[in-house]
Chains A and B, each alone.
Chain A
Amino acid sequence: MKFLVCISNVPDTTTKITFTPDNKEFNKAGVQFVINPWDEYALTRAIELKEAQGSGTVTVLNVGEADTEPNIRKALAIGADDAIRVNAHPKDAFFVAKQIAAIAKDGGYDVILMGKESIDYNGFQVHGMVGELLGIPTVAPAMKLDMSGNTATLEREIEGGKEIVEVNTPFVASCQQPMCEPRIPNMRGIMTARTKPLKVVEPTADAPRTEVDSFALPPAKQGVKLIPAENAGELIKLLRNEAKVI
């Protein structure tokens, strides 16, 4: 079975977010970039399923400029077989989805796995768009994925519960915990990753449909009002009479 895993390159979760002086762009200076944490679930699960099937391939795909290659190599070190980078600035979710759909169409992949959402722009969009572009189902967000032949059984998270969904290949799923324990690269993986194929392709001509005008940081908190522990009950009165939330 052919798996395609889409990974996005995002600032480490501990990053202090700042912007360029005109507030137009995220300030990348000194920021450590990682594989989007949700995408690690997609990658590891694809590798596990391939191993269980005893054959097949796992291809990782990123839409990004050359500076994403260290994280693509990391995905290869974790166990993907080969990689594709669409050489473009990921302008918006629609643009990214168009690139992924074009690669998926050419490659004849059976299972397309993504993360639940990117932790930088929090779109929760690309998987639905790719499914629609390819005319196949998208299951998002999936907490569990098992395959039997060409049929997948997934658990999809819904507000307050979960659904059991069955779909046939090809399909798109976006992954989150507790799907698997994300793997980290081992020494052998890191050595072999260097020689695994990483193909760079040029983007399609599609234009994005959204544009960021500016970024802003949330207003700073006014400072905490401390209530002595002996007087804990006082807090409840403040929540009712001052904050008016209970």
Chain B
Amino acid sequence: MSVLVVVECDGGEVKKSSLEVASYGSQVAQMLGTTATAVAVGEATESNLAKLGEQGIGKVLYDSEPRLKDFVNGAYTKLIAAAAQKEDAKVIILANSNIGAAVGSRLSIRLEASLATNVVELPKTDGGKFVVKRGAFSGKAFADVELESDRKIIAVKKNSIEALHEDGKTAPVESFSAQLTDADFADAPKQVIMQDQAGGVLLPEADLVVSGGRGMKGPENWHLIEDLAKALGAATACSKPVSDVDWRPHHEHVGQTGITVSPNLYIACGISGAIQHLAGVNSSKVIVVINKDPEAPFFKAADYGIVGDVFDVLPKLTEAVKQLN
């Protein structure tokens, strides 16, 4: 019996969200009196995988099949299922990403497992039950869900678990082959197109986010958002109406019908704080709101606020960050 952790890699590095997943997995293993094995997907280097020892991982399995570099649902599912069988994994943990959740749902059928996505805390195992807390109602509530099957699959929401760092600890990396065939790559993407990220920070993985709404008045003013984001090393985001009128690309739209972010810091500039917008951002650790209307609903969800004009306040903030660094 063991715990299996799926780590996503990109450009040789383990994604930050996967370091959290690995830390979650090693803590679950400890609770269950067993060890955690990681299986890596995406483009990884052996030395970076070995460093998963710092997150408490006992061993890493890696299939160097080159076609596994990009996400292929069929192949990834088969690879992870094979690793789960080999390790006799009772609990499988993934990131709640477009990769992790997509693979997790297929795996739950193949392995006859209970599945919980969007999980935000370590499980509770009192009284022989296995209960996880997950976000529900688009960030407006939580649910404690019991996973009833013998096997359990958990997709962990980004930034809800602190990554462990035991400096210098390494894990052995074993090569592993799931004997994948051409048929497993039938749903491989024809083409992968990555966006130009302002400042190079990916919004779903970002720790800091600067976001603009209709109060920014037009796309020509977005340099104010970008300058602050750049100074902070933050990603940029926007409200729905802003992407609806093409001031900003759709992939920056956060909220109930956009992407959900949970960074350490979310700075909202000229956004009123409609309930559908809050749904996508209210699990951010710290929320800052800049709005000229003191009655804007967003202030009720904020930790810090400035009642003022974004055109006046934003350059001051950027200047203050530059002075700090």
Contact = CB atoms under 8 A, between A and B. Distances in A.
A111 interface: no
Interface in B95-124: 96-99, 101-106, 108-110, 113-118
Interface residues of A, number: 76
B164 interface: no
A193 B121 CA distance: 45
B140 A245 contact: no
B106 A162 contact: no
Which residue of A11, A143, A228, A235 has the most chain B CB atoms within 10 A of its CB atom?
Answer: A235
A137 B313 CA distance: 49
A157 B98 contact: yes
A208 B275 CA distance: 31
A128 B96 CA distance: 14
Interface in B231-269: 232, 250-251, 256-257, 264-265
Given A165-B189, A210-B114, A235-B320, A127 B105 contact: yes
Contacts of B257: 37-38, 176-177
A164 B304 contact: no
A94 B107 CA distance: 12
Contact of B141 (A97, A133, A217, A229): A217
A229 B320 CA distance: 13
Contacts of A17: 137, 140-141
A181 B323 CA distance: 46
Nearest to A217: B141
Nearest to B282: A218
B132 to A, nearest CB: 9
The dominant DSSP class at the B interface is: mixed
A37 B256 contact: yes
A94 B194 contact: no
Interface string B54-91: 00000000000000001101100100000000000000
A239 to B, nearest CB: 7
A224 interface: yes
B256 A133 contact: no
A166 interface: yes
A140 B143 contact: no
A105 interface: no
Given A160-B195, A232-B308, A224 B208 contact: no
Contact of A213 (B146, B186, B316): B146
A156 B189 contact: yes
B97 to A, nearest CB: 6
Given A17-B140, A124-B101, A132-B109, A239 B186 contact: no
A29 interface: no
A52 interface: no
Interface string A141-157: 10100000000000011
Contacts of A217: 140-142
A235 B304 contact: yes
Interface in B270-315: 275-276, 279, 282-283, 285-286, 288-289, 299-309, 312-313
A14 interface: yes
A22 B321 CA distance: 48
Contacts of A187: none
B135 interface: yes
A214 interface: yes
A167 to B, nearest CB: 6
11 contacts: A124-B102, A128-B102, A160-B204, A164-B192, A215-B141, A217-B141, A222-B303, A224-B302, A225-B305, A236-B317, A245-B265
Given A137-B187, A216-B143, 15 more contacts: A37-B256, A122-B117, A124-B96, A124-B117, A140-B102, A160-B194, A160-B203, A163-B191, A208-B148, A209-B113, A209-B147, A215-B136, A226-B304, A240-B324, A243-B286
The 6 closest A-B pairs by CB, nearest first: A128-B105, A229-B308, A233-B320, A163-B189, A161-B194, A232-B316
